[in-house]
Amino acid sequence: MEIALVSSPGATEDHLKKHYADLADKPFYAGLCKYMSSGPLVAMCWEGTGVVKTARTMMGETRPADSKPGTIRGDFCIEVGRNIIHGSDSVESANKEVALWFKPEELFSWTQSNETWIYE
């Protein structure tokens, strides 16, 4: 199991420009980077079977109006430009993003005591 958690007073706009570099040609890019750097954040790294898909289900749809109740975006967001959560859309993206946010020594692996009851 690998997990890291960092609570920060906020990320710089320059750091978020690197994070969202794949969206640099989009008209909302500058506003997104400014918004995401406007307050505190918690960066996390999760590991597990199907974790990207599971995390995206918990987050809800990109468009909050399309999100189900009980999801983060369904319960706490109204407009796309003010989504309060970001999640990697693939393992490849996650690997790139984890490297951007965490140093290798900040990631910890361990075996849960109930692992044999959870995983085959």
The domain limits of the chain are: 2-103
Q: How far is CA 5 from the centre of its chain?
A: 11
86 is catalytic: yes
Give this prediction's pTM: 0.79
Report pLDDT digits (tens) over 59-88. 999 999 999 999 999 999 999 988 889 999
**Candidate list 86, 89, 96, 102, residue with the active-site label:** 86
Note the pLDDT tens digit of each residue in 17-60.
Answer: 999 999 999 999 999 999 988 888 888 888 888 999 999 999 99
Q: In whole angstroms, what is the distance from residue 5 CA to residue 8 CA? A: 10
Note the CATH number of domain 2-103: 3.30.70.141
Q: How far apart are CA 16 and CA 32, in angstroms?
A: 9
Q: Using an 8 Å Cβ cutoff, are 73 and 59 in contact?
A: yes
In the numeric block, which tokens belong to residue 67?
Answer: 């999100």
